[in-house]
Amino acid sequence: MATTRNTLVHVNGNQEQQPKIVIYSTPSDEVSSFWREKYEKDAKKYWDIFYKRHQDKFFKDRHYLDKEWGHHFSGEGTKVILEVGCGAGNTIFPLLATYPDIYVHACDFSPRAVVLVKKHKDFTEARVNAFVCDLTSDDLCKHIAPSSVDIVTMIFVLSAVSPEKMPLVVQNIRKVLKPNGRMLFRDYATGDLAQERFTGKEQKISENFYVRGDGTRAFYFSDEFLGSLFKENGFSTEEHFVCCKQVENRSREIVMNRRWVQAVFQAVESTTENEVSHLEGDCNKSKDLAKGFEIDISEGIAVDMFGISSPSEEIIEVAIRDHIFKIKVLSKEYQHTCTSTGLMLWESARLMASILAQNQNIITGKRVLELGSGCGGICSMIAARSSNLVFATDVDKKTLDLLTDNVTSNLKSPFLDILNVKKLEWGNEDDILAVKQLNEKGFDVIIGTDVTYITEAIIPLFATAKELISSTHNSKEPPALILCHVLRRVDEPYILSAASEYGFVLVDRWSDRIPSSSTGGIIRSWFSECGQYEVPSTALNIMYFHIA
């Protein structure tokens, strides 16, 4: 899916818009009730799989704890600490190394995480009590004496719990805290880029609560929600602020506007109005660390801040008929924080590549252009095996770099010589001209997979296709524009309206939800051939256009 920006194409703002007829209902952002219940039921399993995959290599040690909260851990006598959601021990062991007089209880509901803690080179039962515990259902007092803990650390943990069960967690912790004991809290705040990246991806479970691609979940805290949660469950607010930071990885050209909440809550005997600090107005006290400077992840500051390693790629294997592609993409755990949608492989590309592999007549001997190829480029690589000329295009630099790597590692001459990787920003006159200079005759087939993601991209998309599609053709096989996508924020009537404005006529369409008898002849013939097609989603659609 292509990354889009402001373009040079203008739309007549005075044109009267026709009422939209919704042919397909626009998919909801929310997951179905079935999956909502499954993610809740299998929450422990998903985190156990996470630690099986990453072991202790994903999160980095949280050395910022001493800087932020050192005065809570220091002092005379032994301090008893409870680390909730200990993971692989990235909080525990930095604390043990810094404060020789503390004793740590460490719990996690992932058995594999607790095993990782016990295998750590610095683990000793004399200073650490590590155990498996689901704080939404298991009684902490079976593992820890009531009212015996001085400090609880809860760092990017509560966000993994369903919001309706968060009171159970807080009440459970409250029982083992000493009177006036403190909870040190850091977690995601509403408005964080990671939350924004979930929009339109059908990954919303409930308000501010989302599921990631690996099945783990994340809640984003508002001031009001967080204040009410702890106030109503026996805590006063000693400290609270929202941190805002712009994090940049210059080498990868990834910028993240991150927001997280940091707070200190104190256990109180009673929770009258006079004893509880209200969070109202705390936004004025927020720390805005983004103004005036940028931080490079490679310098390690963001690593310390979030406790995660810098973004990295992973290799996925894609089988398309007789072809096996090894595609380098951005790792799944970073995809929802990345500003470019081209660094992953979209399901519509898999379907379209399967169709091209099974129906070579679509592209044999023709000049083919792929718009918004993304880093995978599998449609272009399939086309290169029988086309005369193929252009795989995108606008994002990192995407183009990965695309070039994937093409050169998966194709050999003569197919490699046919495929050109080129920057093409839709509506950008310079980019369009550069492509025209390399192919003056225009393209017989233009393909776009998941390039209809946002409204602002639709007009530039068709304007660019109009500029680059071939103007000479015979009546038997006129030039074609083929779009394969999941309808998300943009509905079909708007796409058809934009297509018509630039002279494109819809001659056929297909959806897995439409009975085969009602589909047209062109696309239906693609599926009538014997062969297997990877159709990962029943929401996938194909639209086939000719130029008027």
Q: Tell me the pLDDT tens digit for each residue of 443-487.
A: 999 999 999 978 889 999 999 999 999 987 666 789 999 999 887
What average pLDDT does range 482-501 have in this prediction? 89
Separation of first and last alpha carbons in the chain:
26
Does the structure show a pLDDT above 80 at 340? no
Q: Which of 492, 499, 467 shows the shortest CA–CA distance to 542?
A: 492
SS3 label, residue 531: coil
- The count of C-alpha atoms lying within 13 angstroms of the C-alpha of 382, restricted to the half-sphere facing its C-beta, is 30
Q: Give the angle subtended at the CA of 337 by the CAs of 298 and 453, to the nearest 5°.
A: 135
At a CB cut-off of 8 Å and minimum separation 6, what does 64 contact?
304, 305
Q: Give the angle subtended at the CA of 387 by the CAs of 384 and 389, to the nearest 5°.
A: 80
DSSP string, 57-96: SSBPP-THHHHHHHHHH-SSSPEEEEEES-TTTTTHHHHH
Q: How far apart, in Å, are the Cα atoms of 111 and each of 33, 92, 152, 465?
A: 27, 17, 20, 53
Query: Amino acid letter at 411?
Result: L
Query: Amino acid letter at 343?
Result: L
Query: Amino acid letter at 162?
Result: S
- If one compares 216 and 176, the residue with the highest pLDDT of the two is 176
**pLDDT for the residue 295:** 32
- State the Cα–Cα distance between residues 394 and 373, nearest whole angstrom: 6
The torsion of the CA quartet 37, 40, 46, 51, rounded to 10 degrees, works out to: 180
SS3 label, residue 323: strand
- If one compares 50 and 243, the residue with the highest pLDDT of the two is 243
SS3 label, residue 128: strand
Query: pLDDT of 77-109, one tens digit each?
Result: 788 999 998 888 888 888 888 888 899 999 998
Other beta carbons within 10 angstroms of residue 11's beta carbon come to: 12
Q: How far apart, in Å, are the Cα atoms of 314 and each of 167, 311, 373, 411, 520?
A: 38, 10, 18, 19, 39
What average pLDDT does range 154-182 have in this prediction? 92
- State the Cα–Cα distance between residues 141 and 158, nearest whole angstrom: 19
> Using 50, 70 and 90 to split pLDDT, how confident is the model at 130?
very high
SS3 label, residue 203: coil
> Using 50, 70 and 90 to split pLDDT, how confident is the model at 379?
very high
**pLDDT for the residue 248:** 66
> Using 50, 70 and 90 to split pLDDT, how confident is the model at 22?
very low
Provide the residue ranges of all domains of the chain, joining segments of one domain with +. 33-306, 313-547
Q: CB–CB of 259/190 below 8 Å? A: yes
According to CATH, the topology of domain 33-306 is Rossmann fold (3.40.50)
Long-range residue pairs from 282-289, CB within 8 A, at least 24 positions apart, any chain: 282/223, 282/240, 282/241, 282/242, 283/223, 283/242, 285/240, 285/241, 286/241, 286/242, 286/243, 286/244, 287/241, 287/242, 287/243, 287/244, 288/244, 289/243, 289/244, 289/245
Q: How far apart, in Å, are the Cα atoms of 521 and each of 48, 293, 499, 518, 541?
A: 48, 57, 21, 9, 15
What average pLDDT does range 123-146 have in this prediction? 91
Q: Is 33-306's fold the same as 313-547's?
A: yes
DSSP string, 417-466: HHEEEEE--TT-HHHHHHHHHH-TT-BSEEEEES--SSHHHHHHHHHHHH
**pLDDT for the residue 15:** 45
Q: Which residues of 32-52 are buried (b: 16+ CB within 10 A; e: fewer)?
A: eeeebebbeeebeebbbbbbe
**pLDDT for the residue 45:** 77
The region of weakest confidence among 45-49, 254-258, 305-309 is 305-309
Secondary-structure class of domain 313-547 per CATH: alpha beta
Question: Residue 108, Cα to own-chain centre: how many angstroms?
Answer: 25
Does the structure show a pLDDT above 70 at 402? yes
